[in-house]
Copies of this chain bind each other. A is one copy, B any other.
Amino acid sequence: MTVCPQILSPPHRVPPLSEILSPVSRRLNRVNRLLRAWPESTSPLIRRMAAGAILRQGKLIRPGILLLITGHFGYRGNHDLPLAAAVEGLHLASLIHDDIIDRSAYRRGEKTAWQRFGSDFSLLLGDFFFIRSVARSLALEEKEIPAMLAEAARLMIEGEIEELAESHNIKISRARYLKIIEKKTASLFQTTCRLAARLGGAGSEETKALEEYGLNLGLTFQVIDDLLDLTGRPSQTGKPAFSDLREGRVTLPLIYALRAAGPAEQRQMKKELERIKTEKTQPVNQKLINFIRSTEALQKTFRQAEVLAARARSAVLRLRPSLHRRSLLQLTDFVLWREQ
């Protein structure tokens, strides 16, 4: 199923995420415990659902970034763990709601929340995590922190709304696509970096570098996500292939393919996209996949991701060297080359 193996073999060894995050792995475990303690005051049902959603959360990339940055600055306070939990909680809230909207049945090989608890419970569970995330950050005695988190949440929600509004719009431009994924995905990465810089007492130059890092790492993350929808093995990505196509999401590979298509091919693609919109259970027409593959759209998409990852890389290189900076650099490779 991997379409273009040449774009999936890195020129050097990319360490696994556990190795990259090893400087903060013990603290990440504590973040996970904090997050799991959130629903403790509530009813057993909410505790059970929340615990289920949290256990399956997976990578903890965002809290990892936050702790790597505070680690880089030698932060010694006690705001980093609750803040890392709040960032992950916000991410979790948005995943839970997105999966309802996208009707995604699987994520990382596990059933999504709405598949397990139904969409009604999951809607409210997402609300719970949204409110809890912001509420938890209120305890940190710094007014700007909850405001920054709430602003990131607003951008995420707006990005989702705008993405939904662009469904099935085959005329969407690359710039518009990038703007939407910036709001939807990159804003939380960027805010994570900004918050960490603030806690770490970063100077304005360092803060700017870290914001640039977060933005471009987040963009890379989403572009690769959209590429994996077309090229990834479901056994590795943990979700069915072509979910975006089915939901009418016109992602970067599709934008490039549409650009390369002649008017007749564009009409055919449009027809096929309309068909799979109404016939959700039918397989995606192999012709459409083959056409996309024939246009070099996948390669172009990967090159775009490479450019974004390089920007993240060069931004973080403006920090002084450290063990933690090394991990932040490795993360740009991990996000670019990941297969899940």
Chain A residues in the interface with B (C-beta under 8 A): 42-43, 45-46, 49, 97, 100-101, 120-121, 123-128, 130-132, 134-135, 138-139, 141, 143, 146-147, 150-151, 153-154, 157-158, 160-162, 164-165
Contacts and interface: CB of A to CB of B under 8 A. Distances in A.
Give the residue among A100, A120, A147, A164 with the most B Cβ atoms within 10 A.
A120
A46 B158 contact: yes
Contact of A123 (B43, B49, B101, B132): B101
A154 B128 contact: yes
A125 B150 CA distance: 15
Contact of A157 (B120, B128, B151, B153): B128
Q: How many copies does the complex hold?
A: 2
Contact of A127 (B46, B97, B120, B135): B97
A154 B131 contact: yes
A98 to B, nearest CB: 9
Nearest to A147: B138
A135 B151 contact: yes
A161 B128 contact: yes
Given A124-B164, A138-B146, 12 more contacts: A43-B158, A43-B161, A97-B124, A100-B120, A124-B160, A125-B161, A126-B127, A127-B130, A128-B154, A130-B130, A130-B131, A135-B150
A44 B124 CA distance: 27
Contacts of A100: 120, 123
B120 A101 contact: yes
A157 B131 contact: yes
A46 B161 contact: yes
Give the residue among A124, A132, A151, A165 with the most B Cβ atoms within 10 A.
A124
Q: Give the 6 A-B CB pairs with smallest separation, nearest first.
A: A135-B150, A101-B120, A131-B153, A127-B157, A124-B161, A138-B147
B161 A121 contact: yes
Nearest to A46: B161
Contacts of A124: 97, 101, 157, 160-161, 164
A49 B164 CA distance: 13
A42 B135 contact: no
Contacts of A146: 134, 138, 146
Contacts of A120: 100-101, 164
A45 B160 CA distance: 12
10 contacts: A46-B162, A97-B123, A100-B123, A128-B154, A128-B157, A131-B134, A134-B135, A135-B154, A138-B147, A138-B150
B134 A165 contact: no
A132 to B, nearest CB: 7
